[in-house]
Structure 1
């Protein structure tokens, strides 16, 4: 009897996995045959709204007449849901997440080069100073033709695939084959990928003997450290006054903005107020660690200064610190938190509203939909607000007063203390477009390919004071871009175009700091700062 029982147990152990597998298979088969008619009481249903969405996707997946990529359906569905919330709650697909994360982290892992896909190859515009490529001796104009034996030139070359070969894990090695046209030679260079910073400080230099200038392009994880290094260097050079340029800065981390503000405000000064769905209020205060609390400050903003930029400008304005110069800012007073969706994608969901120290919300209305919300620039342009301060509409109900009695307003952006109209010559939309679109950068690269020896050994100060863009070069650009066929007339903006060409040459030769120095020489807002300082021009270097 014991022997039979033992055999039965052994048989049960032997065949148990088979029976379990058959049971699972039967369950899948039965499930696939079930009618998907809905009922009010569903097995395992915990939330009918969530279950409704899951069932819809299942219907499509199992029953729809054609093959459908349900991943794309989910993406569309998530986007549609978020679009009905507010303009700043957004979905980040898996394929875009890495780039988005790098942007906010303020760094990426790679070899550290700016490059173009020029004709059929990767052309190095400029190695990033201090990066692996720079340290390995890669130069502007070099072509990267192989990476670990993988061909990186030819008609089918794509930017995404290139990035995959140049980026990688920290300290991973990559063997590059480089072609250097200037010497008609090939070089084999092996280097290790390192963390390469995405620079937040576009420019940092002295405008005059005692007036410094710092331009921030975002508020990432690394921004404060970059800003602090730049500020300390300028202080060591003798500045007692600072221009903080936040124009076209779309924002970033609130915590970074708070740390920047803390450099300028005294201990226990209120920086920011946030309020969430449940009514919970959090207040952030400045600390004792500020290093520029007594220095004179100017902050530059425009219609594209948003989010964290507005937190900085609003906190300083409400604490009567510094002078805000420019045009009304974008008007974003919502706080987002990034949340993973478990498959490599994520959402940035609005979780709170923020208020400046006087208690004002600067969030502009968004009830008319995203299209109306993001076309606000055109509305401002049409109503004359970009040209005339008295065209800015304010509501008395949104009137607030700072500790020193200055009147400020909520309801859609930070209104500057000193208004500067949009200069249609200095800030020509067409010139800005061609500079951003790639036309001008490609033209400059080709120009330098032929004329790089002209600038060999020329330092930036010599370039700035001695090199001038002549009519021949500006006309060559107009012909290169074929604006005559597009019916775009830049004939009235010759000097502005020449300055933009010179700035782009400086950028490719020397870097973003020098690009800003050239453009800022005739910048209306900076000229206004100099006027307020009693100086009509920039110090000559």
Structure 2
């Protein structure tokens, strides 16, 4: 304990008026910053926009006459704010975040099955190749009745609750009661949960002896690794040319797109330019000689190829690498960053614009609102650009030139080098719809329920060469889908319908690669690629 020292007090006493005066001066200065004529609320509001929103939510929480879920109000408010920015700045609610994150990571932790809710029961379509369920012996057609004793069938069952029981911590175990109709018995199967990939490479195979094919459905964290593996295998198999199918690919991570492009460009070739709010410019270059930098490449795009897909197509086109085949792409040239909002939700906020190597922006105008922006497909349909190349409207002010002198345009998507029109007939549109909606897939599942034994000892090559969907199957589907009642005449599309049915059977029995392989046998864009190849080979022989 320190004793008082009268001598020290006397020593500092003469400075006391100085300290008091200084304190009063500071107090007057601080006081001058407050307007004490205002009400108390205004003093502490600091007039910030954030405080205004916070205060409104508090008023509703504590003062509003009825009970209100203010969480939903916040969601609506955030969405309203973002809608006034641009079409690609979006809010991800807490309940959607896990699924969205899995989609971008390219994997989730679970047992690895694709399934339907069939007659109020989980019916396995197929176990994912290499996944935990396949290793444990779960087969297509199996019914999962219980998970660790929890009933998973009945009228009240829904897909979200099912997923919560089948997913779980990595290496955790779940015991399933599985009924196998083909053997008319119930099995107890224990599955150890593990990472299950969300496959980015839908298909990878040889079209001809030297021409390979890879289809990417997204650009997630795992896409490049999958792509690299597929590319190396094709190269080992003698492929020296590649078709990269980016149709209906909505995009994903820019960094993944850059790594994919890097495989086809020589070192130091420009891949991408980004520019942020401050005007800071960042340029990305090819970092090495890619595996396929000498190879010939065709890139397939359509009106649903967006974002990272357009980065790939634009970088290759602007570097005079490869041939872009198809229809004008979506037109998204904005860069988003995901930011957490602290409660399990997040926002993807546009932070920059990107430009292709020639300096063109391919972002479509969005000043007339989101509804107008997303109805662009209808406008393209009406103005005929899905059918005729010369219907695509381009502005001379947005004209750019590649190093070899090819003219390219900005202002709304990547315009292909070789145009392939879309079949816009009602019959074809109907076929595409019923195939993509899952309706045909559901029909095929019911077909396999009755005929699965027919395919049990048939490998894919045997199926591909020997099985044909006959008239009776296509007629049965038309009746099942009630297309005859809708008076849709599919007489000119009989072969297309049969091919779709066969492809869907292949998907459920063998997987997505086999689905694409069968579907692509008569694909107009791939037939155009083969036509270009034949013309090139013929020209080379003449020379």
Q: TM-score, normalised by structure 2?
A: 0.90
How far apart are residue 50 of structure 1 and its match? Answer: 1.0
How far apart are residue 492 of structure 1 and its match? Answer: 3.2
**Residue number in structure 2 paired with 1:57:** 57
**Residue number in structure 1 paired with 2:24:** none
**Residue number in structure 2 paired with 1:123:** 123
Alignment of 1:468-483 (within 5 A): 468-483=468-483
**Residue number in structure 2 paired with 1:296:** 296
**Residue number in structure 1 paired with 2:369:** 369
Q: Work out which of the two has the higher radius of gyration on C-alpha atoms and give 1 or 2.
A: 2
Matched, 1:384 2:384: yes
Q: Is the 8 A contact 1:425 1:496 kept in 2?
A: no
**Residue number in structure 2 paired with 1:422:** 422
Q: Look up the SS of the partner of 1:533 in the other structure.
A: helix
Q: Is the 8 A contact 2:92 2:346 kept in 1?
A: yes
Q: Look up the SS of the partner of 2:42 in the other structure.
A: coil
**Residue number in structure 1 paired with 2:273:** 273
**Residue number in structure 1 paired with 2:29:** none
Cα distance 1:39–1:285, how it changes in 2: closer, same or farther (>3 A)? farther
**Residue number in structure 2 paired with 1:243:** 243
**Residue number in structure 1 paired with 2:397:** 397
RMSD across aligned positions (CA) = 1.5
Which deviates more from structure 2 when the two are superposed, residues 132-141 or residues 494-503?
494-503
Q: Is the 8 A contact 1:426 1:496 kept in 2?
A: no
**Residue number in structure 1 paired with 2:210:** 210
Deviation per residue, 1:132-178 (Å, 9 max, x gap): 00001111100110100001111111111000000011111111111
**Residue number in structure 2 paired with 1:9:** none
How far apart in 2 are the matches of 1:154 and 1:459? Answer: 35
**Residue number in structure 2 paired with 1:284:** 284
Deviation per residue, 1:71-127 (Å, 9 max, x gap): 000000000000000000000000000000000000000000010011121011000
**Residue number in structure 1 paired with 2:195:** 195
How far apart in 1 are the matches of 2:361 and 2:341? Answer: 30
Matched, 1:316 2:316: yes
**Residue number in structure 2 paired with 1:172:** 172
How far apart are residue 455 of structure 1 and its match? Answer: 1.0
**Residue number in structure 1 paired with 2:442:** 442
How far apart are residue 64 of structure 1 and its match? Answer: 1.4
How far apart in 2 are the matches of 1:80 and 1:510? Answer: 45
How far apart are residue 198 of structure 1 and its match? Answer: 0.1
How far apart are residue 52 of structure 1 and its match? Answer: 1.1
Alignment of 1:492-511 (within 5 A): 492-511=492-511
Matched, 1:79 2:79: yes
How far apart are residue 48 of structure 1 and its match? Answer: 1.6
Q: Look up the SS of the partner of 1:214 in the other structure.
A: strand
Q: Look up the SS of the partner of 1:513 in the other structure.
A: helix
Deviation per residue, 1:205-250 (Å, 9 max, x gap): 0000000000000000000000000000000000000000000000
**Residue number in structure 2 paired with 1:233:** 233
Q: Look up the SS of the partner of 2:331 in the other structure.
A: coil
How far apart are residue 44 of structure 1 and its match? Answer: 4.4
**Residue number in structure 2 paired with 1:345:** 345
How far apart are residue 491 of structure 1 and its match? Answer: 3.6
Which deviates more from structure 2 when the two are superposed, residues 424-433 or residues 117-126?
424-433
Q: Is the 8 A contact 1:87 1:370 kept in 2?
A: yes
How far apart in 1 are the matches of 2:112 and 2:267? Answer: 40
How far apart are residue 344 of structure 1 and its match? Answer: 0.5
Q: Is the 8 A contact 1:112 1:131 kept in 2?
A: yes
How far apart in 1 are the matches of 2:249 and 2:40? Answer: 51
Q: Look up the SS of the partner of 1:521 in the other structure.
A: helix
Deviation per residue, 1:302-334 (Å, 9 max, x gap): 000000000000000000000000000000000
Q: Is the 8 A contact 2:427 2:493 kept in 1?
A: no
How far apart in 2 are the matches of 1:65 and 1:144? Answer: 48
**Residue number in structure 2 paired with 1:16:** none
How far apart are residue 453 of structure 1 and its match? Answer: 1.2
**Residue number in structure 2 paired with 1:514:** 514
The alignment of Structure 1 onto Structure 2 pairs a total of residues equal to: 499
Deviation per residue, 1:399-440 (Å, 9 max, x gap): 000000000000000000001111346992211111122221
Cα distance 1:47–1:106, how it changes in 2: closer, same or farther (>3 A)? farther
How far apart in 2 are the matches of 1:445 and 1:143? Answer: 13
Which deviates more from structure 2 when the two are superposed, residues 142-151 or residues 486-495?
486-495
Q: Is the 8 A contact 1:423 1:524 kept in 2?
A: no
Matched, 1:185 2:185: yes
**Residue number in structure 2 paired with 1:252:** 252
Q: Name structure 1 gaps, 5 residues minimum.
A: 1-37, 537-541
How far apart in 2 are the matches of 1:217 and 1:49? Answer: 41
Deviation per residue, 1:266-305 (Å, 9 max, x gap): 0000000000000000000001141100011000000000
